[in-house]
Amino acid sequence: MSLNGFQILFGALMALLAAASVAAVARRAVTRREGLLWAALCLVACLAVLWPGVTSTVAGWLGIGRGADLVSYMAVGILFVGFFATYVRLRALRRELTLLVRRIALFEGAANEENDDEEN
């Protein structure tokens, strides 16, 4: 099998991303499930570039005309899932931050009242 420059470059990039996913799991920056999911996604992307005929075969089984269309549809779907997960996390973090700021404000307010009472 003869590889072209894009396949070599893309394969190297996917190998780096898969290694970064494993390193993130080791650092506990992501869960094992998330790291394995990203590593598997990198592997599937690499295989699709190395053997593009496979995507055409799978696309045919699914009733999609071309393998490139299948890859595009899958990429858009994965991006939507990622954006939604990020949105949900961002909303949860915003809510936690709001609660934390409120709690700090209440504690500071109570501390200021105690100081005012001691001065009088």
Q: How confident is the model at residue 20 (pLDDT cuts 50, 70, 90)?
A: very high
Determine the Cα–Cα distance for residues 79 and 40; give it in Å rounded to an integer.
16
The model's pLDDT over 88-113, given as tens digits with 9 standing for 90+, comes to 999 999 999 999 999 999 988 888 77
Q: Residue 35's closest CA among 56, 18, 53?
A: 18
Q: How confident is the model at residue 27 (pLDDT cuts 50, 70, 90)?
A: very high
Q: How confident is the model at residue 120 (pLDDT cuts 50, 70, 90)?
A: low
Residue 46, CA distances (Å) to 9, 39, 105 in order:
10, 11, 51
pLDDT of 119 > 80? The answer is no
For residue 13, the one-letter residue type is: L
Q: What is the pLDDT of residue 114?
A: 75
Q: To which H or E segment does residue 52 belong?
A: helix 52-62
Cβ(38)–Cβ(17) below 8 Å? yes
Helix-strand-coil split of the chain, %, nearest 5: 90, 0, 10
Angle at 59 between CA 57 and CA 63, to 5 degrees: 120
Residues present in the chain in total: 120
The model's pLDDT over 38-88, given as tens digits with 9 standing for 90+, comes to 899 999 998 888 888 999 999 999 999 999 899 999 999 999 998 999 999
